[in-house]
Each structure stands twice: as C-alpha cells, then as structure tokens.
Amino acid sequence: MLFARLLKPLIRTGRITLIDAHGKRWEFGGESGPADERPCTVRLTDPSLHWKLGVNPGLHAGEAYMAGTLVVEEGSIYDLLSIVTRNAGDNHLGPVGKLRRFGVGLQRLWQQANPADRSRRNVAHHYDLSEKLYDLFLDKDRQYSCAYFADPGMSLDQAQAAKKRHIIAKLLLKPGLKVLDIGCGWGGLALEIAKSADVQVKGITLSQEQLAIARRRAREAGLEHRVQFELQDYRAESGTYDRIVSVGMFEHVGVPQYGAFFRKIDELLDPDGVALLHSIGRTDGPGTTNPWLRKYIFPGGYSPALSEVIPHVERSGLMPTDMEFLRLHYAETLWHWRQRVAANRDRLVALYDERFYRMWEFYLAGCECAFRHQGHMVWQLQMAKRADAVPLTRDYIYEAEHRMAVAAE
C-alpha cells in the first residue's frame, strides 16, 4: 500500500496502527513518544485512500476524516496528527508535497493572487459563517487570533485580554490621535483602543457579518461617536493616521501583494506615526499553504516567512522599530479553542452537521500541531518613519501593560 510505504520510514516514535480497507493491519513506530501523546488506531474504509493518502496526504487525510472514510478508533484525530507532524517536522509529506515545494514560487502566483474581488470572496468563505459558531469556541470578546499567555495559568479570556493590552502598549496612544485598524474582525480591539485612550478609531473589514456585529457592539458600548466601522478593502483607504494596527489580517494579503500593502501603510501613516502588524509566520522559509486548509478553511491564505516580508518593509520607506516572536502562544490558544469545540459538539452539529464538525475539529487539531511541531509562530512587527518615534528601550511596553491590567481589575 502506497500510504504504508510513506508512513513506515516516517514514524519513528509514537505508535500508529492502520487497518486498511481490506482489513489488513499495519503497525508503525514503536518507541515511546511524549507522555501526553496516545497511540492511535486508524481504519480506512475506502480502498482509494490506499494511494490517495500516499500521493497527497495533506489534502486527502482531511477530506477522508470529514467524509468518515478515515476513522480514528483509538486516540483522537489530534493524537494522529501530532504523531505524524512531530515525526515529519518541517518536511512535506508525499511525492506531491515534494513537487509542491519545488514549484513553490510558481504556485504562489496563482494561489495568493488576491485582488479586491477575490479577497472579498475569500473573507466571506470563512468569516461570514454564523456568529453562533464563533460564540461556541472563542473568548467573550470574540478574539480570533493568537492570545498572549503572559502567565501560563491564564484562562483563554485572560490571555486574549492580555494580547490586546500588549498590542495597545506598543501603539503608544495619546489623546486626540487617529487610529486605523485594518481587518478589525468583530471590533474587539478597536473598541478596547477607544476605551484605553481618548482617540478616534476606524476599523475596516471585508466581512458583512463582522461589520454588522462590530457596529452593534460600538452602539451598545456607547462608543459609536469615537469608533467607526466600514466595509472596505485596505487598498481603498485614504487619509493620514497617527497609529495603524492590523491583527490576523496579513495572512490573507498574499505574497504578490506585499509590496503594495507596505506602500499603503507608508502612505497612510503620519510622519510621527507608529504601525503594528501581528501575523502568523513560518521559520522554515517560503512555502505554500496546506492544500486542505486552503480549500476548506482559508482560501487565498498564507503564513509568510520573514524573508518574504522584510524586503518589502525596507523598500516601502518604513523602519522596523521592534519585533517580537510569540512561539507557542498560538498552540495554547488553539488548544483552548479545540477543547471548547469538543465540549460543544452537539450544538455545533445541530448548527451545521456532522461533516462540518469533523472539518472544524480537523482544522483546529492540524493548526495546533503546526504550531507545536512544524515551525509556525506569530510575530509582531512595529514600524515607524522615524527612529525616534518610539522610546529607546522596551520598558514602556511593560509599564503600559501593567497600568492597563491594574485599571481593569
């Protein structure tokens, strides 16, 4: 079996038992893995998976799990993906994966070409789902990006609040400033910025669903006079802003548009301004998005290597003034989301169906494994036009965070 030939040299630690569509058992691994990693028994019920999983496991494993033709009988889908990704590391699985990496430059030209109309469709695919779905697994402020576990014992809500404080501290807010939030989501960060300082905030999104909720939240908070939300592409923005922030949006820009993105930030940013960009990244150099994730979850999405980003910053006229890497924070965030999805399985199935639940379960499990075992992390890049736009040391960040945390108690 082609899939067995792929797994045999790959699985060195941990244990996977595979029962193929003809009832034959295959054993892989044997040496003990991490203490919290359970052995897995997997049953395939479709004979075509014998070769599909060998040729392109990155696509067909997720599709088979959604369809119920890949059944995890012992352990969980997270345990299975953890064993495979931990053993594989940053390597691409299967012959198609190797070809994909070889042709990575050509693939990005069509996979990540995100003109305005395609960007709107891509955003709608994921973010215009029912708000009830996101209420089932996100924190109370509906932050759909990496939390900041300043203390390992933090709850998800505490860590998301800490993330907002950490970002706001880097913005050096002062009364009277104009702030632009690119990709504002459901408005949580923009509203928190307005609560933290007497500033004017504009948040822009491409999601109709997010826009309606963000505007409703601004009205409910009595902040509609200081926080404005619009359905708008960043490329259509004009004017000048003292502060620009973007969290979890850059992954949807696409490499071919990076130059235009940073030129736009430079165009919009006041000469004394500060910008903060928060994005997922990869440590193993340029690549491509997992084909299943691109097809079912984030069409047009891509997490860049810094080597793909910094040259565009340099050419834009912007100056990096601070950079921070959040390594395992997103793995912990995804763990919390995955636990909440599992706890709300019946409600999620009632909202959509069993296939959708398995899709969401596979998505969160696979992404958590990518952050634990395959070099994915989050970076925060602070930029300005002047070297003296921010203090010489980072003390101001922690001092501001502390003040905000005390005020919130």
What tokens appear for 47 in the block? 């004979």
278-313: burial string, b at 16+ Cβ within 10 Å, e else: bbbbbeeeebbbbbbbbebbbbbbbbbbbebbeebb
d(CA 286, CA 294) in angstroms, rounded, equals 16
Q: Which two structure tokens, joined as six digits, stand for 249?
A: 């949006």
Is residue 351 packed enough to be buried (19+ CB in 10 Å), middle (13-18) or exposed (0-12)?
Answer: middle
Output Rg (C-alpha) for the chain, integer angstroms.
Answer: 22
Q: Any idea what DSSP says for residue 375?
A: S
Cα dist from 10 to 26, 30, 52, 86, whole Å? 14, 12, 17, 10
Adjacency order of strands within the sheet including 227-231: 227-231, 200-205, 178-182, 241-247, 269-282, 376-384, 319-326
Name the DSSP class of 38. Answer: P
Can 367 be counted among the known catalytic residues? yes
Report how far residue 240's alpha carbon sits from residue 259's, in angstroms, rounded to the nearest whole number: 19
* Catalytic pick among 40, 184, 367, 369: 367
- The candidate with the shortest Cα–Cα distance to 191, out of 155, 228, 160, 156, is 228
End-to-end CA distance of the chain: 59
How does DSSP classify residue 44?
Answer: E
Q: Known catalytic residues?
A: 367
